[in-house]
């Protein structure tokens, strides 16, 4: 290989490694210096293929049609009591060719107002986490266990999840991501049919219908407990390992 090309590739690899180390410090809550703010938008060499359509996702037009037909089936849903207090249904959004699907608990106030998932304060943190993976929000898919906001942001009841989850199952099956990231205990426990706390469910790779699943803390919990960002960072690294595999 051309010596100049080798030096250039080694330099790029070193810079990429440095970027990941600095991001790890930042998201680990160890450092939050103003001059690190540009890191998330810094071009990353590493997992450059992540979020780009994989071979099995080349039929994204069909995938879009499937998602749109699921949304049509859902319609102006009144299947559970949550419809009474919602403003808008939050179906989910992102790329049908996404390598990663993030699944949260349910819409909050901002999401209910806008009809979009993770657009409040917790959503801003999720955006940062996604950027730390070297991805744009549009390259992943984001949705929730239930599509209507539970009153006072309470945890959705099991009967509400049971009625709503067939639509989530269809969405994930339409996307068939390389990995699912369950955000928070409600999502992780229901997807995995487990009663274990999130602290026990995170830190290992599970499977949902043959798709690897990584559980991590909900961004809203991380806002209240920044010391856990370090653990969440390790979960993100695990996500990267799977999609880079």
Backbone phi, then psi, for 213, in 5-degree steps? -135, 130
- Binding mask 32-71 toward ligand SF4 (x if CB under 6 A, else -) reads ----------------------------------------
CB of 108 to ligand SF4, least distance (A): 14
Which range in 8-16, 34-42, 112-120, 140-148 contacts ligand SF4 by CB under 6 A?
140-148
CB of 25 to ligand SF4, least distance (A): 39
CB within 8 Å of 26: residues ≥ 6 apart:
32, 36, 39, 132
Query: How far lies 75's CA from each of 3, 62, 78, 90, 236, in Å?
Result: 60, 20, 9, 12, 34
Euclidean distance between CA atoms 151 and 86, whole angstroms: 8
Euclidean distance between CA atoms 90 and 236, whole angstroms: 25
**Closest-CA residue to 141 (of 89, 174, 104, 101):** 101
Query: Given candidates 50, 89, 188, 232, which one binds ligand SF4 under the rule CB under 6 A?
Result: 89
Q: How many CB atoms neighbour CB 24 within 10 A? A: 17
- Binding of ligand SF4 by 90 (CB under 6 A): no
- Binding of ligand SF4 by 147 (CB under 6 A): yes
Which range in 3-11, 63-71, 73-81, 233-241 contacts ligand SF4 by CB under 6 A?
73-81
Backbone phi, then psi, for 152, in 5-degree steps? 55, 25
Query: Given candidates 44, 67, 82, 180, which one binds ligand SF4 under the rule CB under 6 A?
Result: 82
- Binding of ligand SF4 by 145 (CB under 6 A): no
- Judged by the rule CB under 6 A, the positions of this chain that interact with ligand SF4 are 74, 77-80, 82-83, 89, 146-148, 160, 163-164
């Amino acid at each position: 290989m051309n010596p100049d090309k080798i030096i250039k590739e080694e330099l790029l690899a070193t810079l990429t490694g440095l970027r990941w180390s600095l991001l790890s410090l930042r998201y680990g809550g160890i450092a939050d210096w103003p001059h690190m703010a540009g890191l998330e938008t810094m071009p990353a060499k590493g997992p450059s293929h992540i979020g780009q359509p994989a071979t099995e996702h080349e039929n994204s037009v069909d995938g879009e049609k499937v998602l749109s037909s699921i949304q049509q089936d859902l319609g102006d849903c009144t299947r559970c009591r949550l419809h009474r207090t919602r403003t808008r249904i939050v179906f989910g959004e992102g790329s049908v060719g996404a390598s990663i699907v993030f699944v949260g608990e349910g819409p909050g106030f901002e999401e209910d107002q806008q009809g979009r998932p993770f657009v409040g304060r917790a959503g801003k943190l999720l955006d940062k986490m996604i950027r730390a993976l070297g991805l744009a929000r549009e390259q992943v898919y984001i949705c929730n266990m239930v599509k209507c906001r539970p009153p006072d942001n309470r945890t959705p009841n099991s009967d509400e999840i049971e009625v709503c989850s067939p639509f989530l199952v269809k969405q994930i099956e339409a996307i068939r991501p390389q990995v699912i990231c369950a955000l928070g205990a409600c999502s992780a426990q229901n997807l995995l049919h487990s009663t274990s706390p999130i602290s026990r469910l995170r830190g290992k790779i599970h499977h949902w219908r043959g798709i690897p699943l990584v559980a991590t803390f909900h961004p809203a919990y991380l806002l209240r407990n920044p010391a856990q960002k370090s653990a969440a960072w390790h979960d993100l690294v695990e996500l990267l390992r799977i999609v880079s595999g």
